[in-house]
Amino acid sequence: MIDCEGLVKIYKTDDLEVVALQGLNLKVEDGELMAIIGNSGSGKSTLLNILGGLDRPSAGQVKVGPWDLLKITEEETVQYKRETVGFIWQNNARNLLPYLSALENVEMPMMLSGKVDRAYAKQLLDWVGLKDRMHNKLHQLSGGEQQRVAIAISLSNRPKLLLADEPTGSVDTTTSDMIMGIFRRLNREIGITVVIVTHDLTLAGKVDRVVAIRDGLTSTEFIKRNPNITLGGGEAELPAASGLQTVHEAYVVVDRVGRLQVPKEYLSALSIKDKATMEFDGERIIITPPKSLGG
């Protein structure tokens, strides 16, 4: 379903380049339920925006199904968003129209595409547990109920891929468990691929696989779920680090004037602060602390 290879996103201004994604590799199989985790500023939301067709990559490869998101035109991007992907925002205001009922909110995307299907809209609200609340205005619904309306809206175009940006970030634990249960049911019953972006590691026990974007600008870690992970009190009980299988690969981006952006933890490990020695042996570039520092 998703194939990213060497994915790079650089935001440029007149005198500054910021690398948000630096050579990221990611593969997601059709029908997976998986999570992407990382701290604030790690690049996970940038990745989600690219997969959702809301932002364009700078370099590398990113394919979703038959779509090559690096090469599609603006018109094709609109078609991609209408036919392939559904998006759930953390902020309900980006999903919902407050003056409409829950049912009318779900029907609105259908109206924009000219294919209103009221029976399907009602079925979606039934799926998310709002069968008896579909005619309520949004101000009559709790925050958790509004988020479930947002999930129904994201499915109104019958997408093959569902992207969720911190979908449980603004709800309590009980509602979070309910929302995750909805994702798993949709994943199992209709086969939709679900990718959830979150900073909450406890979700590792509630999805099939976790991909951690580490240190935002440089690398990815692939964490395969340990079969011994158990659930207790609605949260995942993670085993010791030795119980996780990790594969780590880092990339360095070369900008347009030839500068290398080296991962900070590599420099810290060598006690390199503002100067370094660089050597070229004909095959490799070797970076070491200045000899005056004992390197």
Percent of the chain with pLDDT strictly greater than 70: 81
Q: Is the pLDDT of residue 38 over 80?
A: no
* DSSP per-residue string spanning 133-187: TTTSBGGGS-HHHHHHHHHHHHTTT--SEEEEESTTTTS-HHHHHHHHHHHHHHH
Q: Quick one: pLDDT at residue 252?
A: 60
For 70-102, the pLDDT digits (tens) are: 999 999 999 999 889 999 987 766 778 888 999
pTM of the model: 0.73
Q: Is 221 helix (H, G, I), strand (E, B) or coil?
A: strand
Residues 59-70, mean pLDDT to the nearest whole number: 93
Q: Classify domain 2-84+159-261 at the CATH class level.
A: alpha beta
d(Cα 172, Cα 152) in Å, to the nearest integer? 20
Q: In this predicted model, what pLDDT tens digit does every residue of 191-220 receive, in sequence order?
A: 999 999 887 777 767 888 888 886 544 344
Q: Give the 3-state secondary structure of residue 289.
A: coil
- Residue 230 CA to residue 238 CA, distance in Å, equals 8
**Any idea which of 3-12, 33-42, 143-152 has the lowest mean pLDDT?**
33-42
Convert the pLDDT of each residue in 275-291 to its tens digit. 888 887 877 788 888 87
Boundaries of every domain in the chain: 2-84+159-261, 263-295
- Has residue 245 got a pLDDT over 50? no
